[in-house]
Amino acid sequence: MQLTSQCIVCDADVQLPKDVQISEIVSCLECKTNLVVERINEMKIALSKAPAVEEDWGE
């Protein structure tokens, strides 16, 4: 059984691995947006937009 969720940007179905974890980054194949897995409740998975990569503050 394949897990899916909706992209919050374009509403496309996002395919997720069976062993997906909270805080994992996944990509929408339609709009190429990086999404973060926020919650996993039974078979419902909530996604949010991943933050943009910022410059390294430790440099």
List own/partner pairs for 18-27 with CB under 8 A and 24 or more apart: 20/45, 25/50
Task: Dump pLDDT digits (tens) for 27-43.
Answer: 999 999 999 999 998 77
Greater pLDDT, 10 or 18: 10
User: Does 3-49 carry CATH code 3.30.950.10?
Assistant: no
- Strands (E) in the chain, as ranges, are 3-6, 13-16, 25-27, 34-41, 44-49
Mapped onto helix, strand or coil, the DSSP state of residue 18 is coil
Q: How confident is the model at residue 1 (pLDDT cuts 50, 70, 90)?
A: low
Residue 54 pLDDT > 80, yes or no?
no
Strands 3-6 and 13-16: antiparallel
Question: What is the average pLDDT score of the chain?
Answer: 87
Q: Is the pTM of this model over 0.95?
A: no
Domain borders along the chain are 3-49
